[in-house]
């Protein structure tokens, strides 16, 4: 469980005192003690030192691995996790991502910036120290493009953002809503692919997180914190991924794209059927999952904070 074991680990590259200066990209605040650091991945999948090149030969296509692969170290505390931190700690991580994303997209080779978190082994995390990842790609991935084309088609046919419409329908229905705050709605989607799948969607139309106001970011920290604590307590600290779905860098103002965060607890396995069909068998009802997460009492959960009281 988070909170157990040592708060500092001599062998952990993310713990204070073990920082590798050559990998550091930025820290917040500048100097010591830092609260958030962004560092280059030790084993990057993408690099800035190669030039952007595409090759086509028959059916074979290649593109050079140009891009950025960085890690956001979320805390100085080795054994904490997002559910045990404070809302302001989560807000700080998202603000750091935004600042870094604006800088990365100055590189005109970059088409899409992915931001995600792997929590736990089943979700792909290899290091315990709380961290998230940034991957900036020289392409718009097909997963993103397929959704964008669908949203664009809806906008062209109906004249409205599909996500704005979805929010109105979810709020009117109410059964899948987990949380509604000033700026966000969190709900389990109608066609949730897995149990306890949650979306956090801004109420105001916006294609990109990069345009979020400070007030909205504070609210995002609180809303995400509520969801992660509910999952932590209600499902006993499940492994999970969250992924930011936000517009490609050249489409930040698109009227048909609407950013959101998708949170997927790793409590069911994608196996042969899912691989073969792209269809996910969800043994739970999103209405029941939402009802459960709404009512989880996480008030007794206390975390170890590095930076004083709330
Ligand atoms: Zn550590
Ligand atoms: Zn919208």
* Centroid of ligand 1 to alpha carbon of 76 (angstroms): 7
Residue 131 bears catalytic tag: yes
| Interval between CA 151 and ligand 2 midpoint (Å) | 10
- Under 8 Å between Cβ of 87 and 221: yes
> Residues of 158-180 as b/e, b for ≥16 C-beta within 10 angstroms?
eeebbbbebbeebeeeeebbbbb
Q: In the chain, what are the domains? A: 1-139 (3.30.428.10), 142-294 (3.30.428.10)
Q: What is the pLDDT of residues 139-188, one digit of tens each?
A: 999 999 999 999 999 999 999 999 999 999 999 999 999 999 999 999 99
Is the pTM higher than 0.85? The answer reads yes
Choice among 69, 78, 129, 131 that is catalytic: 131
Of the bound ligands, which one is closest to the alpha carbon of residue 15? 1
- Ligand 1 center–CA 126 separation, angstroms: 12
Q: Could you tell me the CA-to-CA distances from 278 to 14, 270, 281, 282 in Å, in that order? A: 37, 10, 10, 13
Q: Ligand 2 is a single-atom ion; what residues have CB below 5 A from it?
A: 161, 163-164, 205, 258
Sign of the C-alpha dihedral, residues 300, 306, 309, 310?
Answer: negative
Q: For residue 163, which of 181, 143, 189 has the smallest C-alpha distance? A: 189
Would you place residue 310 in the very low, low, confident or very high pLDDT band (cuts 50, 70, 90)? very low
Distance 108 CA to ligand 2 centre (A): 26
Q: What is the CB-side half-sphere exposure of residue 258 using CA atoms within 13 A?
A: 23
On whether the CB atoms of residues 292 and 198 are closer than 8 A, the answer is: no
Say whether pLDDT at 126 is over 90. Answer: no
Model confidence pLDDT, tens digit, residues 182-206: 999 999 999 999 999 999 999 999 9
Nearest ligand, CA 131: 1
What average pLDDT does range 18-32 have in this prediction? 95
Ligand nearest to the CA of 129: 1
204 CA distance to ligand 2 middle (Å):
7
């Amino acid at each position: 469980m988070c909170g157990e074991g040592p708060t500092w680990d001599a062998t952990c590259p993310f713990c204070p005192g073990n920082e590798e200066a050559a990998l550091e990209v930025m820290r917040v605040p500048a100097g010591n003690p830092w609260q958030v650091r962004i560092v280059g991945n030790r084993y990057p999948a993408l690099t800035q030192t190669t030039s952007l090149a595409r090759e086509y030969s028959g059916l074979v296509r290649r593109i050079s691995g140009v891009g950025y692969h960085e890690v956001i170290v979320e805390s100085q505390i080795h054994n904490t996790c997002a559910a045990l931190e404070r809302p302001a700690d989560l807000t700080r991580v998202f603000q750091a991502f935004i600042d870094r994303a604006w800088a990365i997209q100055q590189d005109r080779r970059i088409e899409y910036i992915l931001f995600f978190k792997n929590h736990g082994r089943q979700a792909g995390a290899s290091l315990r120290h709380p961290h998230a990842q940034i991957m900036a790609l020289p392409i718009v991935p097909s997963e993103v493009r397929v959704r964008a084309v669908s949203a664009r088609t809806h906008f062209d046919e109906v004249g409205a953002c599909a996500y704005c419409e979805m929010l109105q329908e979810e709020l009117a229905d109410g059964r899948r809503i987990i949380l509604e705050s000033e700026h966000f709605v969190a709900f389990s989607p109608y066609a949730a692919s897995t149990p306890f799948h949650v979306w956090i969607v801004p109420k105001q139309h916006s294609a990109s997180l990069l345009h979020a106001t400070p007030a909205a970011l504070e609210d995002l920290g609180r809303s995400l914190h509520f969801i992660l604590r509910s999952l932590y307590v209600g499902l006993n600290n499940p492994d999970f991924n969250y992924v930011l779905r936000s517009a490609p860098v050249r489409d930040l103002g698109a009227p048909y794209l609407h950013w959101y965060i998708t949170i997927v607890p790793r409590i069911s396995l994608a196996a042969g059927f899912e691989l073969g069909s792209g269809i996910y068998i969800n043994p739970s009802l999103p209405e029941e999952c939402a009802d459960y997460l709404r009512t989880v009492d996480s008030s007794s959960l206390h975390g170890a904070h590095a930076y004083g009281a709330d």
